[in-house]
Amino acid sequence: MAANLSFLQFSPQILQTKDSRRKLSSAVKLKFSGSCVVSCSSSNNGRGGPKDDPVKDVERLLEEKRRAELSARIASGEFTVGKSSGGPEGYVKIPEARGDIRAISSEPFFIPLYELYLTYGGVFRLTFGPKGILAEILDFVMGKGLIPADGEIWRVRRRAIVPALHQKFVAAMFSLFGEATDRLCKKLDAAASDGEDVEMESLFSRLTLDVIGKAVFNYDFDSLNVDTGIVGAVYTVLREAEDRSVAPIPFWEIPIWKDISPKLKKVNAALKLINETLDNLIAVCKVEFIHVLYISCFTCFLYLHAIVMKMVDEEELQFHEEYMNEQDPSILHFLLASGDDVSSKQLRDDLMTMLIAGHETSAAVLTWTFYLLAKEPSVMAKLQNEVDSVLGDRFPTVEDMKKLKYTTRVINESLRLYPQPPVLIRRSLGDDVLGKYPIKRGEDIFISVWNLHRSPIHWEEADKFNPERWPLDGPNPNETNQNFSYLPFGGGPRKCIGDMFASYETVVAVAMLVRRFDFQMALGAPPVKMTTGATIHTTEGLKMTVTPRRRQPIIPTLDIPTVKVDSSVNVPKVETISGQKDEVSPALS
C-alpha cells in the first residue's frame, strides 16, 4: 500500500516556479474517504456569534482534543523518519512523513495532512497514502474527457470547449438558474408547510444536476421532481466513481468478480443507459442542426458569409456568440454548430466530464455555504438584507451580479473554507525542482488547497467564516489577484472552464433561497461531519429546518428612478467573477 508520494503544500512562491509548472502534468481529481468533526467549527478562532453557545463549545473542545492527540502522535515521531538533510547534487532532501495509511483512514485525508503541514512546512514527501493518479480509475466514465485527458487531446479539446462557455451563453443561463431554484423553493415550501425537516445536501445535488443537464446537453433531468431511470443511473455511476477512487484494490478488474458482482452489473447497466441517452442527444442535436442547414441553405449561405465577414471585422468573442441558439443554448449545440470536428465518442466523454465536473462541485459549494450560514446568523442577516434590497421579489438577472456583492463574498469565503475539490494532483513529466527540492519524473504531487486556504501564514483567523475579509469595493478574489494563496477554481492552463457559470449559478441559488426562507440546523440532526469523494461531502447529510421568512412590507418610495435604455446593446456587459482575462473566459477579454 505504501506509495512513494510527494505531497506539496502550495505557497505562492512555489507555484511561481516556472520550471515546475511547465513540467507538471495534470491528472484527475483525487478522491479519499473518511470522516471527522467539521474543523471550522472547532475553534473560537474565526467564530463570531455568542461565546456561550454550548453546542459550539462541545464541538470546539472535541476538535481541540482531536488536534492535540494528532499533534502528540506527530511529535512522537510516529509519522516521521527524521528530517532529511542534504540531497543529491547539493539539493536539500524533502522532509519525509511516514506512517501507516490505516492511522489516518478514519478521517478525510486532508485533515491529517493539515497537521503534517503545520509540522513540516509547505513541502514534504508522504511515504504512505492513497494512490494518486485516477485517470485509469475514471476511464470507465470520463474516457478521454477534458479532466483526465492530457497532451495533444487535452489541448485540442480545451480549445474547442472553452469558447462554448462564452458571455452570452452564461447570460442565457440565468433563466435556467432561476427556474431550477424556483422548483427547489416550491419543494421547500411544501416541506415547511408540512412541518418537515429537509436534507439539503441531496436537494442541492438534484438542483445542480438539473442545471448542468440543461446547460451541457439541453436535457431536463427534472430530478427535483421525478426519479426516472436516468437520474438513478447518473447517481449509480457517480457513486461508483467515488467508491473506486478510495478502493484499496481495483476490484472491478478482477476477472470473475467483474462478471458476477451484482453491483458491477448495476453499474454497467447504468453506464449503458447514460451512454445511450447521450448518444441519442448527440444524434438528435446533429440531425436538427443538419435539418436547419438544409431547409435554409440559401439563408444559411448568406448567414455564414455574414459571419465570416464579421470575423474579419469583429472580435472573436462575437463570432463565438453567433453559434448560440436561443432555443437550445447548450454546450452540445454550440460544439456542433461551431463545426467541432470530433468523434461522437470524444464528444460524449467531454459532455460526461462536464456533467460530473459541474454537478458535485456546485452542490458541495451550496451545501457548505448553508452549513456555514446556519452557524453564523449575523452573516445570514446581512446577506438577506442585501438580497431583499437588490432583488425584491423578482428573479436574479445578469445585471444583478454586480450588485449582489456580499452574496458573492459569502460564496468566495465558503470556497475558501471548503475548496472543491480539496486536493488537486499533478504528475511530474520530468525531473524537476520544486522550490529547493528535487522532484523525480513520474512522482505524484498532491496540492492541498485545503491547507493553502486555511494556512495561518496566509490568512488571519484562517478557520473563521468571515465574508468581510473580502472588501466589497475590492476585486472578486481569484488566484491571480490573491497571489495564488486562493485557488477556488485552480489556476494555470488547467483552470476550471466553468468558473463564471458556477459562480453565478451558486449566487442565484443562494440569493433566491435566503430571500424566501430562514435556515436552521434541524433539532436532533446528526453532527455534520466531512467525508471526501471528488468533493467534500457530509457523512450523514445536512438536515435543516426551513421556515418561510416574514419580511417587512416593501414601502414604495416617491423617487421614480429613470432608466436609460441603450438600444444598441443586446447583451449586458458581464464582469468575470474571476476577473481574469485568460482563455477561461475568452469571450470576456
20 binds ligand HEM, rule: CB under 6 A = no
Q: In this chain, which stretch among 250-258, 381-389, 497-505, 549-557 interacts with ligand HEM, using CB under 6 A?
A: 497-505
The number of beta carbons lying within 10 Å of the beta carbon of residue 279 is: 14
Which element (helix H / strand E) includes 24?
strand 24-26
Residue 38's contacts (CB-CB under 8 Å, 6 or more residues apart) are 59, 371, 527, 528, 529, 530
- CA 43 to CA 553: how far, in whole Å? 39
Residues 145-174 that bind ligand HEM (CB under 6 A): 146-147, 158
DSSP string, 391-443: HTTSPP-GGGGGT-HHHHHHHHHHHHHS-SSSEEEEEESS-EEETTEEE-TT-
498 binds ligand HEM, rule: CB under 6 A = yes
Nearer to ligand HEM, 93 or 158 (CB): 158
- Smallest gap from residue 149 Cβ to ligand HEM (A): 7
Geometric angle at alpha carbon 171, from 179 and 357, rounded to 5°: 75
533 binds ligand HEM, rule: CB under 6 A = no
The answer to whether 254 and 147 are in contact (CB under 8 A) is: no
Residues 24-43 that bind ligand HEM (CB under 6 A): 26
110 binds ligand HEM, rule: CB under 6 A = no
Give the x/- contact pattern for ligand HEM in 414-453, rule: CB under 6 A. Answer: ------x---x-----------------------------
Residue with cell 474579419: 312
Geometric angle at alpha carbon 81, from 80 and 84, rounded to 5°: 110
497 binds ligand HEM, rule: CB under 6 A = yes
236 binds ligand HEM, rule: CB under 6 A = no
Residue with cell 438577472: 397
- Sole binder of ligand HEM in the list 8, 170, 234, 357 (CB under 6 A): 357
The number of beta carbons lying within 10 Å of the beta carbon of residue 476 is: 21
- Smallest gap from residue 64 Cβ to ligand HEM (A): 29
- CA 410 to CA 11: how far, in whole Å? 24
- Sole binder of ligand HEM in the list 361, 384, 451, 466 (CB under 6 A): 361
407 binds ligand HEM, rule: CB under 6 A = no
Nine cell digits for residue 552 = 417587512
502 binds ligand HEM, rule: CB under 6 A = yes
Radius of gyration of the chain (CA): 24
Nearer to ligand HEM, 40 or 536 (CB): 536
- Smallest gap from residue 75 Cβ to ligand HEM (A): 33
The answer to whether 142 and 16 are in contact (CB under 8 A) is: no
Residue 418 φ then ψ, to 5°: -130, 75
Q: In this chain, which stretch among 121-129, 170-178, 500-508, 514-522 interacts with ligand HEM, using CB under 6 A?
A: 500-508
Nearer to ligand HEM, 26 or 455 (CB): 26
Residues that bind ligand HEM (CB under 6 A): 26, 146-147, 158, 353-354, 357-358, 361-362, 365, 420, 424, 488-490, 494, 496-498, 501-502, 506
